[in-house]
Amino acid sequence: ADAVPEDSLWPLPQWVRTYPRQLQLAPSRFQLVHGAGSSAGPGCGLLQDDAFRRYYEYMFGHSLRRTWGRRPLAARGEPELFQLQVVIEAGDPGCDGHPQLTSSEAYHLTVTEPVAVLKAPEVWGALRGKPMLFTLNSLFRFLVNESEINDFPRFAHRGVLLDTSRHYLPLKSILTNLDAMAFNKFNVLHWHIVDDQSFPYQSIYFPELSDKGAYSSNLIYTPTDVRLVIEYARLRGIRVIPEFDTPGHTQSWGKGQKDLLTPCYSGEQPTGSFGPVNPVWNTTYDFMATFFKEISSVFPDEFIHLGGDEVDFSCWKSNPEVKQFMKKQGFGIDYAKLESYYVQNILDIVSSYNKGQMVWQEVFDHKAQLKPDTIVQVWMANNYAHELSSVTGAGYTAVLSAPWYLDYISYGQDWKKYYTVEPLNFPGSEKQKKLLIGGEACLWGEFVDATNLTPRLWPRASAVGERLWSSSNVTNLQDAYKRLTNHRCRMLRRGIAAEPVFVGYCAHEARGP
């Protein structure tokens, strides 16, 4: 065999058994069908139209002419595998819905003559399980071993953060990245869509935000673009959580929305510069209420990320109106209290639209009153285990990204560093451990745009992907190296320009650049 299947499974399933008997697949006859008893049928676009066809092409696409023509099926002795039957077990298959934090991604795949059966409680599990048949299938041969996989994710939230403010990312880069995420069983695109540098999100209510705050009038995401990203993600079982980070990281907001940011002062005089969002005016909250009403409706996910990191207090401290407000509220000189006051207001606004919230860890650290279901994202590298302990100890849900800032590049095989993180290795009770629902690989955009996004992120993020999906005892680096190397070649074959893990080559090399 050209490739031993187990050598290339990534992320490793919870349970796999492979038998020696091999079955052959005839591209001209092999069918993907809905099995008996499935709640999903031909009307299930999520399974039928897109995802079925896509993997079928990955599997048979380029090699169809090259290989198949030369090997007549009749000449071969192996029994034939005719079908993959997909059975969705839930009463409502949810084919038109969006994936959620609570969605089941479990699946059970058996490959035996004459049919393979993929069972999943929900369609999202079927999306995760379907490619496995084509992964088990040997690389350049239409053969698959009889096998059985029982699989489910260890963590429910497995995200990749992309930053489209420091550099604009063309739609194609985002969609390609969603493909790569699906190949690695990630299920959350954390879209850090705006920041100080630019505001590429084209708002329906406030078009001036991108008219004046985007880098350029053509470097924006229109409502159509955003819908496309969300649908492309949905078809791959990926949630899109938008982040609109306030009150800091908002310089670009100020260009299109007057009187939103805090004017900074030097003594009695405004300097002409602006600081974070102005927390003392009612107009700020009126604006935010309208803005987040739009966001709540544009983005279907249950959660919105509200940011809240790295608020610089110096401008607030310089502003007479802010100082007066501090006095009135009895905040003394504790500007963290002012920050919490602001964040609280935003949290209340967003809650009123029935959205759950994600926030960066400072919002928790500065003691804002959080809704019990708020998700706190732990990002500071320094002693993040302690922070996980505190956040979950206070009863909040946590997502870990501190050890997975993939924008911090270094020489060599740094995937090992990301791979050897054990997320649950923090002090806390069983109950606390349950509150850590996953993690995110973050690729901040200061030095990343369409020229280098894909090879910089992949396959380094794959290490995070396996850590979050596979069992905690999947930790053998030598075995992971072999599988990751093969997995990277598979990504390349599927059109993802993932960089090499180390020296060597792939059977199907990149043509580049």
Give the footprint of its own copies on this chain (CB under 8 A): 166-168, 170, 172-173, 176, 197-198, 215-216, 219, 407-412, 445-456, 492, 497-500, 502-505, 507, 509-513
Report yes or no: 353 and 296 within 8 Å, Cβ to Cβ. yes
Comparison of 293 and 456: residue with beta carbon closer to its own copies:
456
Q: Is 472 exposed, middle or buried (0-12, 13-18, 19+ CB in 10 A)?
A: exposed
The least CB distance from residue 494 to its own copies, in Å, is: 13
Sheet holding 31-34, edge to edge: 31-34, 83-88, 115-120, 107-111, 143-151, 15-25, 80-81
Of 126, 139, 143, residue with least CA distance to 182? 126
Min separation Cβ 161 and its own copies, Å:
16
Name which of 343 and 484 has its Cβ closer to its own copies: 484
CA atoms in the 13 A half-sphere facing the CB of 137: 25
DSSP string, 251-275: HHHHHHSTT-EEEEEETTEEEEEEE
Residues 6+ apart with CB under 8 A from 276: 246, 247, 248, 250, 261, 262, 311, 312, 315, 316
DSSP secondary structure letters along 336-350: HHHHHHHHHHHHHHH
Q: Which region, left, alpha or beta, applies to residue 338 given φ > 0 means left and ψ of -120 to 50 means alpha?
A: alpha
What is the bridge-based pairing of β-strands 115-120 and 143-151?
unpaired
- The nearer residue to its own copies, 72 or 513, going by C-beta atoms, is 513
Q: How far is the CB of 277 from its own copies (least distance, A)?
A: 21
DSSP, residue by residue, 44-66: -TIIIIIIIHHHHHHHHTTHIII
The candidate with the shortest Cα–Cα distance to 192, out of 353, 100, 306, is 306
Name the token pair of 45.
């676009």
- Smallest distance from its own copies to CB 446, Å: 6
Q: How far is the CB of 113 from its own copies (least distance, A)?
A: 34
Nearer to its own copies, 198 or 340 (CB): 198
Q: Which is nearer to its own copies, 27 or 170 (CB)?
A: 170
How far is residue 472's CA from residue 442's CA, in Å, rounded to a whole number? 21
Q: How far is the CB of 503 from its own copies (least distance, A)?
A: 5
Q: Which DSSP category does 359 fall into?
A: E
Cα separation, 320 vs 298, whole angstroms: 37
Cα radius of gyration rounded to whole Å, the chain: 25
The least distance separating its own copies from the CB of residue 202, rounded to whole angstroms, comes to: 16
User: Which C-beta is closer to its own copies: that of 195 or that of 362?
Assistant: 195
In the set 310, 422, 446, 509, the catalytic residue is: 310
Minimum CB distance to its own copies smaller for 266 or for 451: 451
> What's the DSSP call for residue 95?
T
CB 466 within 8 A of CB 480: yes
- In the complex with its own copies, the residue whose CB is nearer, 451 or 476, is 451
Annotated catalytic residue 310: yes
Taking Cα atoms as reference points, which of 465, 513, 512 lies closest to residue 487?
465
Query: 399: closest CA among 99, 158, 152, 186?
Result: 158
CB of 482 to its own copies, least distance (A): 17
If we measure between CA atoms, which residue out of 135, 120, 177 comes closest to residue 490? 135
What amino acid positions are annotated as catalytic residues?
Answer: 310
